[in-house]
Amino acid sequence: MEFKMLPVKTILLDFENPRIARILQMYRPEELKADQIALALGAGDTQEGENYTTFRSLKESIRTNGGLIHPIVVNRNAKGKYVAIEGNTRVQIYRDFQREGIKGDWSRIPAVVHRNLASKAIDAIRLQAHLVGPRPWDPYSKARYLNDLRSKKNLTMEQIVEFCGGRKKQVLDYIAAYQDMEQFYRAKLEPGESFDPTRFSAFVELQRPDVQQAVQAAGFSKGDFAKWVIDDLFGPLQTIRQLPRILGHNDAKVVFLRDGAQEAMKLLDVPPADTSLALASMTQIALELSRRISKLEFGDIQRLKSHPTGDERDVLLESRTRLEELFTLIADEGNG
């Protein structure tokens, strides 16, 4: 590994980079143009926030500073070609500045150069730079890449988790969500209807066991779920977590299929007759729930078991989900 000022014209863009692949899959190789590559690299990224560097702000920063603060990462392969593993956007910006005649020297770019990196090492650099780095990919692109690592490059789950520092369940959910979206959502799109990667989070929610069980128990399929996503029945997407309650309630289910989750939830969000519950503390409610569970008779347990879509069981499952989420947050805070 060495540091060099590489001629920009000698650097090849990394077409295996998922940020590029997601856009370029829409075009045939002979149709590609420079502006389409720039779009794939982030020119169309409108997402702002402290964890995102948009194409425009990055471009302006490089122009103002007269160059890069952080060098790109390049692999010199067996053929002697320099391929940008991390920094495709910055390479494209230098090319734009050259073409536009922007004042400054944009012919050479600072780069950390590796030689003949193995595929595993390249994947590790990508994962560290983007899945846990300061400029993360969008969730769909992350999931696509994780799926490729698992299905095409046959990395073990332990290797993937070790690379990106995430939790195994989260990685599994992302891969399963990507596969469901590709298999069911893409198939439901009408001719000419664009594929919307921002819908990916809906399919992450679908990986929740209680949601999948509710969809199946109500006689629907993942294909039906994909059509609900396309028809915007979930707004916001967090309402997907209410599907067990909605589909288990006959009137709410009818309203959901016609008007969406928000309207259906109005039939569920009825204030309790005992308004004193609203005044009770979370500790008091938790203690009372624990007391009642400890006193359940065998017959009550069998009743809940024999009615997998009953209102009481659905509410208990929803409570369990909320508690699991709370304890996950507590654990994360504690480890921070």
Report pLDDT digits (tens) over 199-217: 999 999 999 999 999 999 9
Q: What is the pLDDT of residues 91-111, one digit of tens each?
A: 888 988 988 899 999 999 999
Select 2-135's CATH number: 2.120.10.80, 3.40.50.300, 3.40.630.30, 3.90.1530.10: 3.90.1530.10
Q: Which of these, 333, 154, 308, lies nearest to 244 by C-alpha position?
A: 308
Could you read off the pLDDT of 224-280 as tens digits, one per residue? Answer: 999 999 999 998 888 898 999 999 999 999 999 999 999 998 888 655 556 577 777
Q: How far, CA to CA in Å, does 106 sit from each of 66, 85, 179, 182? A: 9, 19, 41, 40
Q: How confident is the model at residue 330 (pLDDT cuts 50, 70, 90)?
A: confident
pTM (2 decimals)? 0.53
Write the single-letter amino acid at 145. Y
Predicted pLDDT at 52: 38
Determine the Cα–Cα distance for residues 74 and 87; give it in Å rounded to an integer. Answer: 8
Winning range, highest mean pLDDT, from 38-47, 57-66, 127-136 = 57-66
Considering the chain, what percentage of its residues have pLDDT values greater than 90?
33
Instruction: Report the C-alpha gap between 54 and 126 in whole angstroms.
Output: 18
Domain ranges of the chain: 2-135, 138-201, 277-335
